[in-house]
């Protein structure tokens, strides 16, 4: 949450990553999110403030360690939390940013039955995402195990 730490983070990322320092500062100030790209693969990494919402706090508590990471101690959000965050981001985006919708559909298509259904259902109800989740499932060709 500290904007002053942005230059240190950018320096720590080094040449293996690209990000917009301005976007990082804005995310820190607003408790929002910012994207970092892993080079040369252009893998997108989304940083979120874990104190921004109850869902973000839950995601932080449920995070998993990335096996074989070349970046030191790397923690990742679970597929369930990434799915829920993508649906929330899509709903809250002013223009319904398609990247969030694609993220949700991809997670559903790849993880499908492997998702922890009770957790996703509970949060979908709490966040009023049930209709959006059903629509994303239909688009991804995933059955109704989550709703």
Identify which of 48, 5, 51 has the alpha carbon closest to the alpha carbon of residue 25. Answer: 5
What is the pLDDT at residue 26?
83
Do both 71 and 143 map to the same domain? yes
Of 67, 142, 74, the C-alpha closest to 104 is 142
Q: Do residues 73 and 145 share a domain?
A: yes
Within this chain, do residues 45 and 69 fall inside the same structural domain, yes or no? no
In terms of residue numbers, what domain contains 13?
A: 1-49
What is the model's pLDDT at position 126?
A: 96
Q: What is the CA radius of gyration of the chain?
A: 16
b/e for 114-145, b at 16 or more Cβ within 10 A? ebeeebbbebbeebebeebbeebbeebebeee
| Same domain, residue pair 10 and 63 | no
Task: Please check the confidence at residue 118 and state whether its pLDDT lies above 80.
Answer: yes
d(CA 147, CA 100): 20
Q: Strand runs (DSSP E) across the chain, as ranges?
A: 17-19, 33-38, 43-48, 64-65, 75-76
Tell me: do 42 and 110 sit in the same domain. Answer: no
Q: Which of 49, 67, 82 is the last residue of a domain?
A: 49
Residues 62 and 22 in one domain: no
Q: Looking at the structure, do residues 137 and 68 belong to the same domain, yes or no?
A: yes
Same domain, residue pair 25 and 59: no
Number of domains in the chain: 2
Do 59 and 3 lie in one domain? The reply is no
* Mean per-residue pLDDT of the chain: 80
Helices 117-126/79-92 angle, 10° precision: 20
Q: Of 9, 27, 49, which residue sits at a domain end?
A: 49
Confidence check: pLDDT of 137 > 80? yes
Q: pLDDT tier at 64 (50, 70, 90 boundaries)?
A: confident
Same domain, 15 and 57: no
């Amino acid at each position: 949450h500290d904007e002053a730490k942005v230059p240190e983070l950018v320096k720590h990322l080094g040449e293996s990553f690209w990000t917009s320092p301005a976007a990082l500062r804005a995310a820190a100030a607003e408790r929002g999110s910012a994207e970092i790209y892993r080079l040369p693969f252009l893998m997108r990494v989304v940083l979120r403030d874990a104190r921004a919402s109850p869902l973000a706090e839950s995601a932080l508590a449920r995070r998993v360690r990335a096996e074989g990471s070349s970046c030191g101690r790397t923690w990742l959000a679970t597929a369930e939390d990434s799915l829920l965050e993508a649906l929330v981001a899509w709903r809250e985006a002013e223009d319904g940013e398609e990247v969030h919708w694609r993220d949700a559909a991809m997670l559903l298509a790849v993880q499908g039955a492997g998702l922890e259904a009770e957790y996703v259902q509970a949060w979908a109800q709490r966040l009023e995402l049930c209709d959006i989740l059903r629509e994303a499932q239909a688009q991804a060709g995933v059955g109704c195990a989550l709703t």
